[in-house]
Amino acid sequence: MLDDASWLVNPPLIASGIIVFLTGIVLSLTGLLAFWILAVAGLGMTVWGVFGEKREEIVPENPGMKFCWYCLREIPVDAEVCGYCGIKQGLLEKP
Ligand SMILES: [Zn+2]
């Protein structure tokens, strides 16, 4: 008796259950995917931070010097005007 559906006590409920079940699987897969993306990204950033080339800090060799904000050449700290490009200094000075 293949067409005997008497065991289907509440077919709509079963259909809803299947939909909820499938939704749960999709959500868990999405969550898993997000987890792996975050895990791989975090691992990659860590590896990059450990093995990546260190960025050289740009510091004037002479403590009495600073960089021109425009042409980035070393000029005396108290220079008001860059001796190379003639741009007035102090425009981008830190407050
Ligand atoms: Zn300059």
pLDDT in tens, 7-34: 667 888 888 999 999 999 999 888 888 8
Looking at residue 6, what is its pLDDT? 61
Whole-model pTM: value is 0.36
C-alpha 62/C-alpha 44 separation (Å) is 37
Provide the pLDDT confidence category of residue 5 given band limits of 50, 70 and 90. low
Distance 67 CA to ligand 1 centre (A): 8
Distance 56 CA to ligand 1 centre (A): 21
Report the separation in Å between the CA atom of 44 and the middle of ligand 1, taken as the mean of its atom positions: 39
Q: Using CA atoms, how far apart are residues 95 and 89, in angstroms rounded to an integer?
A: 13
Please indicate whether residue 61 or residue 55 has the higher confidence score (pLDDT).
61
The model's pLDDT over 65-79, given as tens digits with 9 standing for 90+, comes to 998 988 989 999 999
Please tell me the distance between residue 82's alpha carbon and the centre of ligand 1 in angstroms.
5
If one compares 54 and 45, the residue with the highest pLDDT of the two is: 45
Q: Which two tokens stand for residue 13?
A: 């409920």
DSSP 29-68: HHHHHHHHHHHHHHHHHHHHHHHSPPPPP---SSTTEEE-
Q: Residue written as tokens 């860590």?
A: 46
CA of 93 to the centre of ligand 1 (A): 14
The mean pLDDT of the chain is: 83
CA of 17 to the centre of ligand 1 (A): 72
Q: How far is the CA of 74 from the centre of ligand 1 (A)?
A: 8
The predicted pLDDT at position 83 comes to 93
